[in-house]
Amino acid sequence: MKKISVLFVCLGNICRSPAAEAIFINLLENKGLTDGFIVDSAGTGSWHIGKKADSRMRIAAEKRDINILSRARQITSEDFEGFNYILAMDDSNFRNIQDLKNRTSSTDFASIKKIQNFRSVFNEQEVPDPYFGGDEGFDHVLDILEDSVSGFLKSIS
């Protein structure tokens, strides 16, 4: 059976989208669905290419038994043809992804959506950027993402 491919995207690919990727991978493992999916994350920006996720986010995730293993990369035009779903963390990411797609000759293969479209517990329309804030911001991002990432999986199951 063909695998479903999912790319989570934020600005730097060191805080929110690596966390979303790891939460989704963890959820798939818990449900025995790992083999059916390809999961990745990327940033619209290039500053952190090759870096591990921010240590504050890795520590916050480890407390929930979630390991964030990814290295940062930038979204490319090929991603629009390689992934079934591209999930943006906020409105700015969403616009930047759409602009990039419009500047390339990519087809409309990927379905581009905001991850918060799939929220059920939290009201936030966007996943807030925790980078310049305190440690509690990282826990809040994880809370929000556990809700919306699981809502996304339900929406495609």
Q: Is residue 129 among the annotated active site residues?
A: yes
Nearer to ligand 4NP, 43 or 110 (CB): 43
Closest residue to bound ligand 4NP by CB: 12
Radius of gyration of the chain (CA): 14
Question: Total number of residues binding ligand 4NP (CB under 6 A)?
Answer: 11
> Binding residue for ligand 4NP (CB under 6 A) from 21, 40, 129, 146?
129
The structure tokens listed for 130 are 């925790």
State the nearest-atom distance from the C-beta of 110 to ligand 4NP, in Å: 19
Report d(CA 15, CA 57) in Å as an integer.
6
Q: Which of residues 5-44 bind ligand 4NP (CB under 6 A)?
A: 10-16, 43
Q: Is residue 16 among the annotated active site residues?
A: yes
Q: By C-alpha distance, which of 123, 134, 115 is closest to 19?
A: 115
State the nearest-atom distance from the C-beta of 47 to ligand 4NP, in Å: 5
47, 12 contact by CB (below 8 A): yes
**Residue type present at position 134:** G
**Residue type present at position 107:** T
16, 145 contact by CB (below 8 A): yes
Nearer to ligand 4NP, 34 or 55 (CB): 55
127, 138 contact by CB (below 8 A): no
State the nearest-atom distance from the C-beta of 97 to ligand 4NP, in Å: 13
> What is the contact surface with ligand 4NP in residues (CB under 6 A)?
10-16, 43, 47, 129, 131
